[in-house]
């Protein structure tokens, strides 16, 4: 019975991923009909993300929380970066991850946004404006101010963090061994877009590159519903996209561990390995190996 239910679930997932990318493209008589869904397709579109199974604390034999960086300059991570035009909004079915997060925060569908990865300082959409938008007096405005003239809104230059400015994502998650299942599992906890500090946008690329900061942290379980409604372009087959929720939960990205929970106040790798990118990378791989080896050692002892 369980096997049959699993087959049905997998079939629904595959079918739901196939229907919407270019829905009705081959039957459309006018461009406006492209993307129109029938009743069955609409019902599948409204489906919720696959629920996490309940994990009793007594079943967690071992766990380790790590923080990772997803570099959007890497080709494998491009689906999280593009599209960048129109602030990440190419069409109703193709948006960048940053645009999806911002749109759902502004609409109130994502409410659990925080200042740090420890989720103890909650932010409001209004709080984000200071992090995403900066205004500075233009050269004309400075001349007016120096001469004692009244300055208007037109005398300010506006700088804004948009999709193309986001160069990384940071994620926080926990690896754990479920002794009831006897396997190593991963649970994503939080995600944060990383971009230059908005105050450096007027100072040029060099200043921007040296001032990368996480803009905000999103409690991932709260964002799953929204991410499940947004699809990622499949470079191998555009008729079968998948959702951002599935992409992130299945860890379809390349990342580097930059921090792990430890007795030293969870210090980051670059806090004890200074100005040596190679050794920092090797330390990241050491932490990954430690996680993998724990599962292997379960069966070797």
Domains of the chain: which residue ranges? Answer: 1-47, 55-132+163-300
Closest CA to 176 of 266, 297, 55, 61: 61
SS3 assignment for the chain? CHHHHHHHHHHHHHHHHHHCCCCCCCCCCCHHHCCCCCHHHHHHHCCCCCCCCCCCHHHEEEEEEEEEEEECCCHHHHHHCCCCHHHHEEECCEECHHHHHHHHHHHCCCCCEECCCCCCCECCHHHHHHHHEEEEECHHHHHHHHCCCCCCHHHEEEEECCHHHCCEEEEEEEEEEECCCCEEEEEEEEEEEEEECHHHHHHCHHHHHCCEEECCEEEHHHHHHHHHCCEECCCCCCCCCEEHHHHHHCCCCCCEEEEECCCCCCCEHHHCCCCCHHHHHHHHHHHHHHHHHHHHHHHHC
In which region does residue 266 sit, left (phi positive, over 0), alpha (psi from -120 to 50) or beta (all else)? Answer: left
Instruction: Profile the chain (301 residues) by mean pLDDT over runs of 10 residues.
Output: 43 40 61 62 66 89 95 94 90 89 94 95 89 82 76 78 94 93 92 93 82 95 93 80 91 95 94 93 94 81 57
CA distance 239 to 16: 11
Angle at 135 between CA 163 and CA 85, to 5 degrees: 20
**pLDDT score recorded for residue 33:** 58
φ, ψ (nearest 5 deg) of residue 83: -75, 155
What pLDDT is stored for residue 15 in this prediction?
37
* pTM to 2 decimal places: 0.83
Give the Cα separation of 182 and 111 in Å (integer): 35
């Amino acid at each position: 019975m369980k096997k049959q239910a699993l087959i049905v679930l997998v079939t629904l997932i595959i079918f739901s991923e196939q229907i919407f990318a270019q829905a009705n493209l081959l039957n459309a008589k006018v461009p406006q009909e492209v993307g129109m869904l029938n009743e069955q397709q609409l019902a599948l579109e409204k489906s919720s993300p696959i629920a996490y199974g309940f994990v009793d604390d007594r079943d967690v034999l071992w766990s380790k929380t790590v923080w990772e960086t997803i570099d959007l300059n890497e080709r494998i991570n491009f689906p999280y970066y593009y599209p960048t035009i129109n602030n990440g909004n190419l069409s109703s079915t193709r948006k960048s991850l940053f645009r999806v997060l911002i749109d759902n925060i502004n609409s109130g569908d994502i409410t659990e946004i925080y200042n740090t990865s420890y989720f103890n300082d909650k932010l409001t959409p209004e709080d984000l404006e200071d992090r995403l938008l900066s205004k500075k007096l233009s050269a004309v405005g400075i001349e007016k101010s120096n001469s004692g003239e009244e300055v208007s809104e037109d005398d300010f230059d506006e700088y804004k963090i948009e999709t193309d400015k986001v160069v990384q994502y940071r994620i926080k998650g926990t690896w754990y061994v479920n002794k009831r299942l006897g396997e190593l599992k991963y649970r994503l906890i939080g995600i944060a877009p990383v971009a230059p500090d908005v105050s450096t946008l007027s100072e040029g690329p060099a200043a921007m590159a040296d001032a990368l900061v996480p803009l905000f942290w999103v409690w991932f379980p709260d964002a799953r519903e929204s991410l499940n409604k947004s699809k990622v372009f499949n470079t191998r087959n555009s008729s079968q996209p998948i959702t951002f929720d599935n992409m992130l939960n299945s860890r379809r990205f390349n990342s580097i561990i930059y921090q792990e929970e430890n007795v030293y106040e969870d210090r980051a790798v670059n806090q004890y390995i200074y100005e040596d990118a190679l050794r920092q990378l090797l330390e990241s791989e050491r932490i990954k190996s430690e996680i993998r080896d724990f599962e292997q050692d379960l069966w070797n002892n």
